[in-house]
Amino acid sequence: MIVVTGGNGQLGRAVVTALRKRIDPANFVVSVRDADKAADLATEGIAIRGNADYSDSDSMARAFDGARTALIISGSSPVEVRKQQQRNAIDGAKRAGVQRIVYTSVQDAAAPNSPFSFTDVHRDTEAYLADSGVAYTIARNTAYAELNLLFAKGALATGKLSIPTGDGRVAFATRTDLANALAAIIATDDYGERIYTLTGSVAYSYDDVAAALSEAVGRTIPHDDCSPETYAAGLSVAGLPPFLVEGMVGMAEAVRQGMYAGVTQDIPLLTGQPAVDGLTILRRVAPTLILPA
């Protein structure tokens, strides 16, 4: 049996959709903190295990009971909190007798000096997994293509795409492609210790992102390579909590340093289909983001 964590999150939901195309839903379970929010999945015949909280290793052990494979999707708490939470999830899986853990990491997890604060979380979790004695597979994900839709909303309001990435490039991947690759990984009984790096097929600069946005909406939206301080201030005004502001500023710097520019063929290798171009969603959705005059 397979247990998929984070079933109410965007990536978790996408994995469930992809997994049910590969295997009978009777062979996997979805764990969530709030079962009420997963009621639609339950009505579709998918087993739900509620009250699964990374802060409580006992609850995770219960969530993983009877599983051979567990997909642990990284959480979204502050750095030190998330480190402990993900260790709890691994401890719970180990106590439940899980034979293989699949974990969603980030592309620059192997970079010892990454400025992206969340990378420290993933590096810690990868190391904890390696020491757990449980077979594991790590999926190091690039940045979501959908993230550019959030940036686009701000850019359309201000007339410029303000993000301090310089000429750095990102091989954006869609959540659907990432989910399809993860489903392929967890649907197999491969217990070798493997690391996949899941990226799109082309690495784009934010000049490219701005050009795609401009073309989609019919007006020029330049990339403003602003200061990290200006970027942080804008994120704070938008209501992001301090730990997310710090993370996004650090990720922009990691992009500037080329840590997300690498392109792999792991998505097509796993799914048998080419990765969707990382700017396709932006081009399609951006015109709908324009507010009426």
Average pLDDT along the chain: 95
What does the alpha-carbon distance between residue 249 and residue 172 come to, in Å, rounded to a whole number?
17
Question: Domain map of the chain by residue range?
Answer: 2-142+174-198
User: Which pLDDT score is estimated for 56?
Assistant: 93
Higher-confidence residue: 25 or 105?
105
> Is CATH 3.40.50.720 the classification given to domain 2-142+174-198?
yes
User: Which pLDDT score is estimated for 189?
Assistant: 83
Percent of the residues in the chain that have a pLDDT greater than 90, as a whole number: 93
> Is-contact 289 197, C-beta < 8 A?
no
Mean pLDDT of 67-85: 95
Name the helix (H) or strand (E) containing 141. Answer: strand 135-141
Q: Is the pLDDT of residue 293 over 60?
A: no
Q: Is the pLDDT of residue 200 over 80?
A: yes
Alpha helices in the chain (DSSP H): 10-19, 39-43, 57-63, 79-95, 117-130, 147-158, 175-186, 206-217, 228-237, 242-256, 266-271, 280-285
Q: Is the pLDDT of residue 74 over 70?
A: yes
Q: Among 43, 50, 61, which Cα is nearest to 8's?
A: 50
> Is-contact 106 140, C-beta < 8 A?
yes
pLDDT for 150-162, tens place per residue?
Answer: 999 999 999 999 9
Q: Which of 14-49 are b and which e, b meaning 16 or more Cβ less than 10 Å from the residue's Cβ?
A: bbbebbbeeeeeeebbbbbbebeebeebeeeebebb
Mean pLDDT of 104-127: 96
Q: Is the pLDDT of residue 292 over 70?
A: no
Q: Is the pLDDT of residue 62 over 60?
A: yes
> Is-contact 154 162, C-beta < 8 A?
yes
117-131, 187-201, 240-254, range with the lowest pLDDT: 187-201
User: Which pLDDT score is estimated for 277?
Assistant: 96
32-41, 213-222, 259-268, range with the lowest pLDDT: 32-41
Quote the tokens at residue 291.
């507010």
Return the SS3 of 14: helix
